[in-house]
Amino acid sequence: MKTSVFSLFACLLTIRGLAQISPTIPPKPYTYADFPESKASSKNMKVVSIGKDSPLVTYRPNIKYTTRDGLDLTLQIIEPTGANGKMPCIVYVQGSAWMKQNVYANLPQLAEFARRGYVIAMVEYRPSSVAKFPAQLQDAKTAIRFMRQQAAAYHVDVDNLFIWGDSSGGHTALLAGLTQNNPELDTKDLDKYPITVNAVVDFYGPTDITQMNVEPSIFDHISPKSPEGQLLGGKNVLENKELAAATNPIKYIKDAKNGPPILIIHGSKDRLVPFQQSVLLADALEKYNYRYQFYQLKGADHGSAEFWTKETFDLVEAFLKQYIVKN
C-alpha cells in the first residue's frame, strides 16, 4: 500500500514538473498564413509535401425539391468545398429502368465532376410504379427550376445549367432538352423559372421503346410488366404504339428549334439498352441538322467502368465547355 501511494505521489510530481517545463499556450485567432509550422520531430519521421490539386467536395443529402403523389422528391447535391463564386450546374438523372432509383449509386463517380468545378444535383423522380410517363420528365424539369430558384444557396450560375442522365435517366435528360416548349409534358410548379439547359449528355439512354427487342437484349422490353410497359402504365408496348411514340425523344427533334446540343455515349456491347437505340437518335439528329456528338465506347456494357473513367469524363467536359456562357 505504501509503495502504491509513493508511486502515485511520484507521478504527480513528474506531471507537475512537465507542466512547469512546457507551459500552455493560449489560443489566438490565427489565419492559416500566420499559423506557425510545428518544430516537433521524431527520429524516424519522414516529411512529405503533397500538392492541393484535388479539391474537396461537399455533399448535401436529400434536399427536397417538390412533393408529388405523396412522395417527397429529393436532390443529392455535390459542390466544390468552400465555393464562393457561381459555378456551372449539372442536373443529373440517375437511371433505374424508370423504377425506384438508387440515387446514391453514382455519387462517388460524380464527385469527380464536382472537383472539376461543377455543382451536381442528382434528381429523384417518381418511379413508374407510382406514376407513368411523363411523370419522370416533369420531375426533372421541376428539379431544373428548383436549382435556378436556389442558385444562391448552392453557388449555381443560372446561365450555365446542363442536364445529364444514364439509361432511363438519359432518356429523361433527352426529353427535357427536346421538349422545352411543350406544356403537356410540364407542370406549373416554379414555372417562373426557365427549364432551358445549355446542353444534354445522354449515357446509353433508350429512345424508340418499340424497337428495343429488335436487337439482342437480356431484358423483355415489350410486355406490360417490362420496364417499358410499366412506363406506359402497365401496357404492352407493341399494342400501344401511340402511347409509346409520346415517350420517344426522336419525335420532338423536328420541332425543337434552337434546342440544346446533345452528346451521346453508348457501349457497343450494351446488354440492356441496345446500342442501336443511340444510332436511331443520331441518325434523326443528323437528318434535322441538329447539333450533336456521338461516341461509341468499344466493348462497353450497360453502365460499365468505361463510362466513369477520366478519359470519358474528359470527353464530357470538353463537350460542356463548348456551351458554357462566359459572364
The residue assigned the cell 474537396 is 56
Distance CA 120, CA 60 (A): 10
Q: How far apart are CA 189 and CA 273, in angstroms?
A: 32
How many domains does the chain contain in total?
1
Q: Is residue 89 part of a domain?
A: yes
Residue 3 within a domain: no
| Cell (9 digits) for 182 | 411543350
The pTM assigned to this predicted structure is: 0.88
Is position 15 within any domain? no
Largest alpha-carbon pair distance within the chain?
A: 98
Residue type, 179: T
**What secondary structure letter does DSSP report for 215?**
S
- Around Cβ 146, how many Cβ atoms within 10 Å? 23
CA distance 224 to 128: 12
Per-residue cell: 51: 500538392
DSSP 301: -
Domain of 201, CATH number, reads 3.40.50.1820
Domain assignment present for residue 199? The answer is yes
For residue 177 the three cell numbers come to 432538352
**85 and 103 Cβ atoms separated by less than 8 Å:** no
The answer to the question of residue 245 being in a domain is: yes
204/191 Cα distance (integer angstroms): 30
First to last CA, the chain: 80
Query: What pLDDT was estimated at residue 13?
Result: 46
Per DSSP, 212 falls in state T
The parent domain of residue 242 ranges over 58-321
Per-residue model confidence (pLDDT) at position 22: 67
- Amino acid, res. 99: M
Using alpha carbons, select from 197, 205, 192 the residue that is nearest to residue 156: 197
In a domain, 225, yes or no: yes
Q: What ranges in the chain are assigned the alpha helix state H?
A: 2-21, 107-115, 135-149, 151-154, 168-178, 227-231, 241-246, 276-287, 310-321
Residue 42 domain flag: no
So what's the pLDDT on residue 18?
47
pLDDT at 5: 53
Per-residue pLDDT of the chain (327 residues; tens, 9 = 90+): 445 555 554 554 454 544 456 689 999 999 999 999 999 999 999 999 987 766 899 999 999 999 999 999 999 999 999 878 899 999 999 999 999 999 999 999 999 999 999 999 999 999 999 999 999 999 999 999 999 999 999 999 999 999 999 999 999 999 999 999 888 899 989 999 999 999 999 999 999 999 999 999 999 999 999 999 999 999 999 999 999 999 999 999 999 988 999 999 999 999 999 999 999 999 999 999 999 999 999 999 999 999 999 999 999 999 999 999 997
